[in-house]
Structure formats: C-alpha cells, structure tokens
Amino acid sequence: MDNTILVTGGAGFIGSNFVLDWLALDQGSDSIINLDKLTYAGNLQNLASLEGNPRHIFVRGDIGDAALVAKLLTEHQPRAIVNFAAESHVDRSIHGPAEFIETNIVGTFQLLEATRSYWNGLNEESKGAFRFLHVSTDEVYGSLSPTDPAFTETKQYEPNSPYSASKAASDHLVRAYHHTYGLPVLTTNCSNNYGPYHFPEKLIPLVIHNALAGKPLPIYGDGQQVRDWLYVKDHASAIRRVLESGKVGEAYNVGGWNEKPNLDVVHTLCAILDELSPRSDGKSYAEQITYVTDRPGHDRRYAIDATKINRDLGWKPAETFETGIRKTVQWYLDNQEWVQNIASGAYKDWVDKHYEKVG
C-alpha cells in the first residue's frame, strides 16, 4: 500500500477542514485522494489553498460510481478510506428524501463493495493495516428529553428524519461489512459541527450571514432545541486519532461537551457581532431575531457522551464553545468573499424558498 488515504466528500464542510488540517499537520508523506461529487454543499473554494499541492489530488465523482472507486483504489492503493460523503441537512431530507437514500445508503453500499474487493486483494500485512473510517452523526440515536443521559455508543438507534434514518442505515451497513466480511471498519458519531467553510443553510453560518445582511434571524419554534456543539477542527483531530488508534469494529462518539439551546447560540452570535462588526444604527443584531414555524419532527435535544474516546484514545476537544464560536465569527468576517460566492448560487435559491414566510 502507498502512503495515501482516500477521502470521500472532501470538498464539503467537515471533509475540507479534515483535508486542510491533515495536509497542514505533520502527517509524514501521506497524500490525499479527494473524491467529491460537488453537489450543492461541495465547494472547491474550500480547497483553494491546496492548488498545486502534489499531496492533494482532487477527483470529481460519486461514491456510488463503483467503477470509478475501484479504479481509484487500484491506482492509488490507499492505506485507509475516510468516508465523509453524505447528504446532510435535515430540512433538505424532509423536502426531498430520495437523494438521501441514494447517497447515504446506496452510495455507502457501493463504496463498501468496492472497498471489500480492493481489501481482499491486499497482502496480509496490508490487509491488517488498512482501515475504513465512516463518519456519522449523533442524530441516528434519536431525541432526548431534558433529563435523559447523553448518547453513549450503546444507545439504541431511533432516527426521526429521513436524513438520520439514511445515516443509521449506512452505519448498519458498515457494521455488517465488518461482522460478515471482516472489513476493518471504524465509525464516528459526532455532534453538531461549526467553524470555517460551513455552508450557510445551517444555524450558525446562516445567523452570521443574515445578521450582516440586515435580514431576519430565523428561530424554529421556541428556540429551546438543545444541541452539543463541536468545533470542526476538533472533530478533524478526533478522526485522525480514531484512524490512528481506534479499535477495529468499534464506534466512537465525538462531542464538544457544549450543550446549548439554539436561542442561546443565536444570542451569543449577536453579542460577538455587536462587538466585532456593530450595526451602523448602534442597535443589537438580536433585534433581527424572528420566530418561524417549527419543522416537522424536530428533535428536541441531542447530547453526546464522549467519555469513550477520551478514556480509550486520550482525545478531548481543544476549544470551548466560547473560544470556538469567536474564531468562527472572525473567520466569516474575514472571508466575506467566500460567503458572497456561496450566497449568489444554489444556496440562495434554497434559503429564499425555505424561509419565504420570514419577515
């Protein structure tokens, strides 16, 4: 095997941060083959700083394209695959679930099949060293009441949206390929990520973008939905750690130990923006908060118990919510060209349609 890893979905939010950090940090001579379909959330601008870098090879393609994946595996002989490729927004899954079934279930199946064929052809030493790391979500576990304990890796799966159901199915496929075929897999289930290059349909980048544009800041229902927030670069470091030392066949929950109601997150963002980029009229951005009808089946609370990855692999997040959210706001203020390029494309059409009742 070569000193290469195959990253799928590496032009998306989490994937691109992982790729950038991997190549920036001392990872020896490991190169990355980056396979991404470049759907609405895949953005090559995220990877602009890697242009001309011989350790980064970008390939536009679909994990469901078995022939392409087989060709890449044969050609580059990677020692690991890190699978970020997924349709990943709950609202989109409610409006159009078919894509989620196709990418997250069928696509993962095709990727696993190609990987199994490749892995079976390796020599014993290479087979033992190979890893398939599947990146998943805490949403597969369902919803929690305010008093329920946080999700552990043994929590029963109870997905509530087409998105989380499709991710749960993909997790089960990955597990089955380990137990049935011996494929050396690892799974991570993360909480809500935030940070640089976050597509502006998700809560934090949407609020920053709308605040600066003088638009309403849409809050679903009463805004008391609780999420555990994980800075994306902490997530990338957790994946590196699991890939390096995780026990084959195991799942690891990755969380930020930061449970926050959505409304509190929005008020925090407004306060930081009031400080770093105040409104011209001197008023607070919080005046732009607007409540909108809650989405169907909206999970009330997610919370990750990340004890296992800390205990077994020594990982914990480097950022608190306070440090991570400030870095995030500053990044968006410093990268308005990136934001505007996103806002002028398909994202704008989606948001205009989805939040047409706001204001």
DSSP string of 4-31, one letter each residue: EEEEESTTSHHHHHHHHHHHHS--TT-E
Side chain identity at residue 295, one-letter code = R
Among 36, 87, 91, 138, the active-site one is 138
3-state secondary structure 204-256: HHHHHHHHHCCCCEEEECCCCCEEEEEEHHHHHHHHHHHHHHCCCCCEEEECC
Q: Is 139 annotated in the active site?
A: yes
Reference 84, options 33, 21, 135; nearest CA is 135
Secondary structure of residue 49 in the 3-state scheme: helix
| Structure token digits, residue 308 | 């296992």
The residues with which 58 forms a beta bridge, in sequence order, are 34
148 is catalytic: no
Catalytic residue, chosen from 163, 177, 252, 332, is: 163
Cα(6)–Cα(4) distance, integer angstroms: 7
CB 358 within 8 A of CB 292: yes
User: Which among 62, 87, 91, 139 is annotated as catalytic?
Assistant: 139
- Please confirm, yes or no, whether 312 is among the known catalytic residues: no
| 83 dihedral zone (left: phi>0; alpha: psi -120 to 50; beta) | beta
- Count of positions (residues) in the chain: 359
Strand ranges (DSSP E) for 84-184? Answer: 131-137
Catalytic residues: 138-139, 163
